[in-house]
Structures are given as structure tokens and as C-alpha cells.
Structure 1
Amino acid sequence: MFGRVRFVLNETSHPGNVGSAARAIKTMGFGRLVLAAPRAGAGILRDPEAIALASGADDVLANALVLPDLDAALQGVSWAVALSARSREYGPPNADPRESAALAVEHAGQGDAVAFVFGSERTGLSNADVERCNALVHIPANPEYSSLNLSQAVQLIAWEMRMACLAHERGHAPGAALATAPAVLSPGAAQHEALATRDDVEGMLAHLERALVDLDFLDPDNPKKLMTRLRRLFAKSHLAREEVNILRGIAKHILERRMRR
């Protein structure tokens, strides 16, 4: 269970935050730290400040992955949660930290990889980054002073995940919040099917976009928010792999038929 959870730091710039994040997740029993496009490159893991603030979590730093972008960091992930201090007009459904942990444990319990994605210290996650995830989480801090350090946010989420994982191992519900979590976020009826990974859904969306352009339903020069809204729709739907294959089959048939004509 613990090994299926990865913590992704996207475009982070401060070595101290990387070391502190490594320490934060190790204290909660996790060990998968992924850096997507860190500003200082792979050398950030060897920075003396990162090593000092890891404070014994050297193994987490040594095993951390440094990847070129967020897409690579989320490869193979079925359930990704974006952490942001800002609400978004468009994007995936919202959940609070406890709900997101309970839902992540549901997925991890089925053998799926899950990820929590944290943005850069200065700008956080872009809208495009958030749209790559299945849920958006805002930590409900003091509204008069809601400034959380990156590693503090990682620590909070890692603690919620630990509590949810331990509850799952004891055979209990992963938190009372699950009972009141929005139904659209739950795997629901799809829980006995093979769930689509994020890679499956991204491939389907690209395929569907080509079909919609070919049908003249989508104007690539003036796309407006169509694909963004479809991303949100499919995030709510929580697709199984077979459902993704059906949608790709439809897109393929549209493209082939238009080509024949």
C-alpha cells in the first residue's frame, strides 16, 4: 500500500524543500519522491542543504526520481491529486485532504499507483498541471494567514495518507470523511474493473481531440474550453480501462470513416 504512493514536486527550486519533503514522507512510512523538472536539475538531490534537511532520509533522496516533466512523473498513475492554494474555474473535482487520502487508499488498495502533486514554491501549479490530475485539494488553513511551506504541505498530506493506509490495513473505513465525499470522486461501480491509468486517459483525450477536429466540431484555432470541460467530465466519470478503449474505438472509427470519404 505505502509503496504505491508517490509524492511529486513539480518545478521545485529550493534544495531545502526537497530535503525536508524527503524527511516528511519517510517519517510517515513512504519513500517514493519524484521531482518533475526541478529548476536546478538532478544536482538538487546532492545539494548540501537538501542532504542536511533530509536529516536521515538519505535513502529517500538517493532513490528519488528526477524526470523531465509532469507527464513523465505521472506515468503509470491511475489517481493523481493536485495540491493548490488557489481555486480554479475549470479543472477536476475538489476534495479536502482527508477525502483525497481516503480515495487514494481505495485506488492503492486495488493495486493502482497514486500520486500527490505539489507545485513550485513561487507559482504553484499551472491550470494545465491541475487538469492533468483527478482531484484538486486545498488545505483549509487559517484564511488570514494561509501560507504553507512546500514541505509542510507534503508533511500534512503524508500524515493523512498514513492514517488512511493504517485504517485500511485494520479493515476500517479510511476515515469518516469518505462517507460524505462527493460521489463523483469515488471509483463506485468501476471498483471491480481495471481502472484506466492517467496515461490511458491522456491517450484517449488526444485521440478524441483529433476526431473532433476532423468532424469540424472542434476548431483548433479557437478551441475555447471544450477539451478542458471534457477532461473535467472524464475526471468525474472515473473511467475503467475498457471504457477508455470504447471511446478510443469511437474516435478511431470517426477518423477512418472521414478518411474513406
Structure 2
Amino acid sequence: MPNPKPQPSFVLVRPQMGENIGAAARAMWNFGLDRMRIVAPRDGWPNPAAVALASGAGRLLDEAQLCEDVVGATGDCHFVFATTARSRDLTKPVVSPERAMQMAAEKTARGEKVAVLFGPERAGLENEDIARANVLISVPVNPDFPSLNLAQCVLLVGYEWRRQTETVASEIDAPGKSGWAQGIEVEKLAQHYEARLDEAGFFFPATKADSMKVNLRNLWSRLPLTQADVQMLHGILRQMVRWKERDR
């Protein structure tokens, strides 16, 4: 079943290779997009090479709309973006992929239909295609090598769509199955090490012992220890003490 959430349609304009269509479908599905439209594919449609590259995203290809031209692919849309890495003679607003997908999210949430045009692999979209778009999406690529693979461009825009429509954690700090150590567990670990280090004569000279112990406690408090970490550190110290006692 299609994804019920509002989303733009990704329109592949005159794609040349079935493999790139399949890779584009896979890139779309990576980010929860499943509305693909294909305009005049060079090698015909359906294309077995596309299915092979789509991997688990074959459903997108099964449901993809085949269109004769850009007019047919975007006729039901209220707003159209066109991706391009080249400067154009046509005067149009130019936005980044991030801003484009912010706009797309706002428009689709209001019930508007949005399309994003992606050009063929060899030279990208023609001016005739771009003339039918409302806004251009310019990818900030290396000006000395601006060409993007079709699937790469789809992936990039799809990623920005995901960022604008889902909660994306900028950092994940997970403790694993054991969970974070509690304060009392870290305190007992600190006491264990302090006692054994004291027996070993580590806190020397005596005039610096107190500050050394404070620094050691500070070290433990800085470490994001899990319960498994604490158990392992206890075990390491016990084993070292046993080994030392056997050596006597």
C-alpha cells in the first residue's frame, strides 16, 4: 500500500538506464518516499534492470506512473521543483535542497500536490523542462565537477525531505542493554579502586594523596559508564589483585 502521509512525487525525466531508475527507487524508499513518475525512459518500461537494482523497493517500480512528457507528469501538481547543478538563462527562484523540502513539506501538509523533477543522466534537465517548474533546486556541488548521478541526486533530496518531516536525532547516546550506571554504583567502583591503589602505595607522596584522590573521583564522574562497564572494571581490578597475590 502507498504511504498515506503527504509527500511529493519524484519525477524521473527521460532516464537512460534501468539500473539508475532502480537505484533511484531504492533511494526514495530509504527515506519513506514511494511516489515515482517516469517520463519517456530511453530503454522502455518496465525494465528488468531497474528491478534488479531496486532491491527491496521493487513495489515503487510496480506502482510508478509512466508518462509521455513533463506536462503529463506534472499536470495535476500545484507546485513543481526542478533539480539542476548548472546555471540557467531562465529567471527563477533558486533554493537549496533543504529549503526546497521545507517548502514541499509545508505545501503537501496543506493538501497541495508537489513534484520534483530529476533530469536524465547525460546532461540533466533541458530548459524546456525547467520552464515548467516554479523553483529550481541547486545542489552545492564542486563547480569543477557538478555532475551528480541520478540516484545520488534522488538520495540527497530524499534525505532532506526526511529531515523536514521526521524527528531526526543529531546525536544518539544509548547505553545498550545494561543501562547507565547509577551514582551509587560509580561510587562503589571509585571506593574499590581507591582502596586497592592505596594498598599498592599509589597515593604518594602523602602530601598529594588527597588531591590525587579528588582527581581520580573526577575521572570516574566524567566517564559515561554503563552498568556493564562498572562490572567489567570491578572484575579487572579483582583479577589484577589475584594475579599479584599468586605471584608472591
TM-score by length of 1: 0.60
Q: What displacement does 1:11 show?
A: 0.6
Q: What displacement does 1:106 show?
A: 1.0
Deviations 1:63-91 (A, max 9, x none): 01111111010021111110011111214
**Other-structure match for 2:74:** 74
The count of aligned residue pairs is 165
CA distance in structure 1 between the aligned counterparts of 2:159 and 2:88, rounded to whole angstroms: 25
Q: Is residue 29 of structure 1 aligned with residue 32 of structure 2?
A: yes
Equivalent residue letter for 1:95: V
Equivalent residue letter for 1:115: A
**Other-structure match for 1:161:** 161
Q: Secondary structure at the match of 2:129?
A: helix
Instruction: Say if 1:157 and 1:136 are closer, same or farther in 2 by CA, change over 3 A.
Output: same
**Other-structure match for 1:133:** 133
The higher radius of gyration belongs to: 2
CA distance in structure 2 between the aligned counterparts of 1:2 and 1:129, rounded to whole angstroms: 27
Write the mapping of 1:179-258 to structure 2, written as runs, cut at 5 A: none
Q: Is residue 43 of structure 1 aligned with residue 56 of structure 2?
A: no
CA distance in structure 2 between the aligned counterparts of 1:78 and 1:110, rounded to whole angstroms: 11
Q: Is the 8 A contact 1:92 1:130 kept in 2?
A: no
CA distance in structure 1 between the aligned counterparts of 2:98 and 2:40, rounded to whole angstroms: 28
Q: Is the 8 A contact 1:104 1:114 kept in 2?
A: yes
Equivalent residue letter for 2:86: R
Q: Is the 8 A contact 2:6 2:111 kept in 1?
A: no
**Other-structure match for 2:173:** none
**Other-structure match for 1:14:** 17
Q: Is the 8 A contact 2:22 2:53 kept in 1?
A: yes
**Other-structure match for 2:212:** none
Q: Secondary structure at the match of 1:57?
A: helix
Q: What displacement does 1:166 show?
A: 1.7
Q: What displacement does 1:123 show?
A: 2.1
TM-score by length of 2: 0.63
CA distance in structure 2 between the aligned counterparts of 1:128 and 1:57, rounded to whole angstroms: 31
Equivalent residue letter for 2:27: A
Identity of aligned residues (%): 37
CA distance in structure 2 between the aligned counterparts of 1:30 and 1:129, rounded to whole angstroms: 23
Q: Is the 8 A contact 1:80 1:134 kept in 2?
A: yes
CA distance in structure 2 between the aligned counterparts of 1:108 and 1:66, rounded to whole angstroms: 22
**Other-structure match for 2:142:** 142
**Other-structure match for 1:120:** 120
Q: Secondary structure at the match of 2:111?
A: coil
Q: What displacement does 1:2 show?
A: 4.1
CA distance in structure 1 between the aligned counterparts of 2:5 and 2:164, rounded to whole angstroms: 10
Deviations 1:40-65 (A, max 9, x none): 22233xx2x21111011011111011
Equivalent residue letter for 1:23: R
CA distance in structure 2 between the aligned counterparts of 1:100 and 1:90, rounded to whole angstroms: 18
**Other-structure match for 2:88:** 88
Would you identify which runs of 4 or more consecutive aligned residues in structure 1 move more than 2 Å? 1-4, 142-147
Deviations 1:193-216 (A, max 9, x none): xxxxxxxxxxxxxxxxxxxxxxxx
Larger helix proportion of the pair: 1
Q: Secondary structure at the match of 2:46?
A: helix
Q: Secondary structure at the match of 1:66?
A: strand
Instruction: Say if 1:15 and 1:43 are closer, same or farther in 2 by CA, change over 3 A.
Output: same
CA distance in structure 1 between the aligned counterparts of 2:26 and 2:150, rounded to whole angstroms: 13
Q: Secondary structure at the match of 2:144?
A: coil
